Homo-oligomer: A and B are copies of this chain.
C-alpha cells in the first residue's frame, strides 16, 4: 500500500476521498462506454456507484469534470502500452510484442477503448490537451523506429505512419466492434482464446506483409 504524499501547499488526499473517487470513476466508465457522454446521466452513475448524486458533484464539480477524469485515467493506461518499441529491438520480436500488448489491452480494457473511440469519433474536443505538440512528436518518434528498421534493411519500405494506423485500427477493432464480431460469429462474448487467436492472425499477416520472418 502506498501513501499519497501531498506536494507542498497542496491539500492532502484523504483515504476516503481516494476510495470514493475510484468507485465513481469506475461506475462512470461503464456508463460512458455504453451510452456516450450525453447519453449518461449523473443519476445513473450515482446509483451504480452506490452513492447519492450530490456526492458526485462534491468530488468532481461537473459532469464534464468527471468525464475528463475518466478520460485522463484511460490515457494513462493508453500511454503505458505505447512505448515498447525501440530501434535497437529486433523488428519481429518487437512488433509481435506490441500487437500482443494492444490485443491484451483490447481484451482487458474494452470500455476504455470504447470511450476513447467515441470521443475521437465525435471530434475529440476533450482530447485537445492530449493531442498536442508532444503527442505529435512522440508519434513521429514511434514512426522513426520503423523508419530506422527500414533504413537498416530489416523490413520492407512500408509507410511507417500508415503501418501504425494499421496496427491501431486492427487491434482496437476487437474492443470497439466486439458486439458486431460476436453477432457475426455467433458468440456471446470474446474469450481469452478468441483474442489470442485474433492476435496470432494479425501477427502472421502483418509481419509477413512487412517482409519480416515470424519471431515465434
> Interface on A for B, CB 8 Å cutoff?
33-39, 114, 117-118, 120-124, 131, 135-136, 139, 156, 158-159, 161-163, 165-166, 168-174, 176-177, 179-181, 183-186, 197-198, 201-202, 204-211
Using known A-B contacts A36-B38, A39-B36, A121-B118, determine if residue A173 contacts B184 with beta carbons closer than 8 Å.
no
Interface residue from B34, B123, B165, B208 paired with A34 (Cβ < 8 Å): B123
- A interface, by DSSP: helix, strand, loop or mixed? helix
Tell me, in angstroms, the Cα distance from A211 to B211 when the chains sit together. Answer: 11
Q: Contact between B173 and A121 (Cβ–Cβ < 8 Å)?
A: no
- Name which residue of chain B comes closest to A157, CB basis: B204
Q: Contact between B159 and A168 (Cβ–Cβ < 8 Å)?
A: no
- Least distance between A179 CB and chain B CB atoms (Å): 5
Interface residue from B34, B37, B121, B208 paired with A117 (Cβ < 8 Å): B121
- Name which residue of chain B comes closest to A207, CB basis: B209
Using known A-B contacts A204-B158, A205-B166, determine if residue A124 contacts B34 with beta carbons closer than 8 Å.
no
Number of copies: 2
Tell me, in angstroms, the Cα distance from A175 to B6 when the chains sit together. Answer: 44
Q: Contact between A174 and B165 (Cβ–Cβ < 8 Å)?
A: yes
Tell me, in angstroms, the Cα distance from A121 to B117 when the chains sit together. Answer: 8
12 pairs, CB–CB < 8 Å, chain A vs chain B = A36-B38, A117-B121, A118-B122, A120-B180, A159-B197, A165-B170, A165-B174, A165-B177, A166-B201, A169-B170, A169-B172, A169-B177
- Name which residue of chain B comes closest to A110, CB basis: B121
Tell me, in angstroms, the Cα distance from A117 to B120 when the chains sit together. Answer: 11
Interface residue from B38, B131, B166, B170 paired with A184 (Cβ < 8 Å): B131
Tell me, in angstroms, the Cα distance from A197 to B161 when the chains sit together. Answer: 11
Q: Contact between A120 and B163 (Cβ–Cβ < 8 Å)?
A: no
Q: Contact between A35 and B198 (Cβ–Cβ < 8 Å)?
A: no
